[in-house]
Amino acid sequence: MTGSVFSALSIAGSDPSGGAGIQVDLKTFARTGVWGMAVITALTAQNVSRVSGSWPVDPGIVREQIETLLEEMTPQAIKTGMLANREIIRVVALMLPEKVPLVIDPVMVSTSGYRLLDESAIEMLCSELIPHAALVTPNIPEAMILSGCTEIADEEQMADAGYRILDMGAKQVVVKGGHGTGADASDILVTKQGVTRFSSSRILYEVHGSGCSYSAAITGWLARGYTVHKSCECAKELVNQGIQNAIAGRSGRRMINP
């Protein structure tokens, strides 16, 4: 982009509720002060409580969206969310511009339990996309799937899972602690230099879209030139505020408000 505008791109699925996916990514990008762009990988029927259906976009359409976008604009950072299937993962891996930081939010299962990525697609994610990542941002269940760990019950095990994902080729990994227990919700940033802990008081209710918003916030600040460490620190604060100001649906379940 011309001038002094920072930009970030989200490659992910659509959430009609606005609480997760592309919709919350764009809201979060705006909150970090960057121009948000989006490539849609899947349509879903969902609300704050559940996902009732999911329909992947044709991989050729995903390719054309990325190709056409990059003719005019190169984002300063990119994040991926829901990628739907192995064919879309392959397209994204092939189309990524060089030297642009990539944040992978490895969306596999919705909070309500709806499966969003099958086993073959997870294998493709690990072999084709994670090696390109500046940062991977799994929650605890996702970290277990990616790392092969049978249990993640404390911060030491979170760090162990992070190191295993690091061994797949990612430059850095942050394992999110929102699915953990205890008074504090701690995220563990794992790099080749060691481990950093980002902690806040745990809020005792589930919030739809917090993981999407967290990875989007990191991506936004990376686009502005922040380090991964500083981006994670700022994202933690943004998500905490978004959870505290969460919006409730008729069911009483909440979605993040970045």
Q: Indicate the domain borders of the chain.
A: 7-255
Is 169 within 8 Å of 130 (Cβ atoms)?
A: yes
Q: What's the CATH number of domain 7-255, 3.50.50.60, 3.90.1200.10, 3.40.1190.20, 3.30.70.2190?
A: 3.40.1190.20
List Cα–Cα distances, 220 to 8, 31, 108, in angstroms: 6, 9, 22
Mean pLDDT in runs of 10 for the chain (258 residues)? 81 96 98 98 93 94 98 97 96 95 90 73 94 96 92 91 96 83 77 87 78 96 97 94 92 93
The pLDDT score that the predictor gives to residue 212 is: 95
Residues in the chain: 258
Longest alpha-carbon distance in the chain: 49
The pLDDT score that the predictor gives to residue 108 is: 85
DSSP string computed for 32-61? HT-EEEEEEEEEEEE-SS-EEEEEEPPHHH
List Cα–Cα distances, 182 to 25, 116, 179, 186, 243, in angstroms: 28, 28, 10, 10, 17
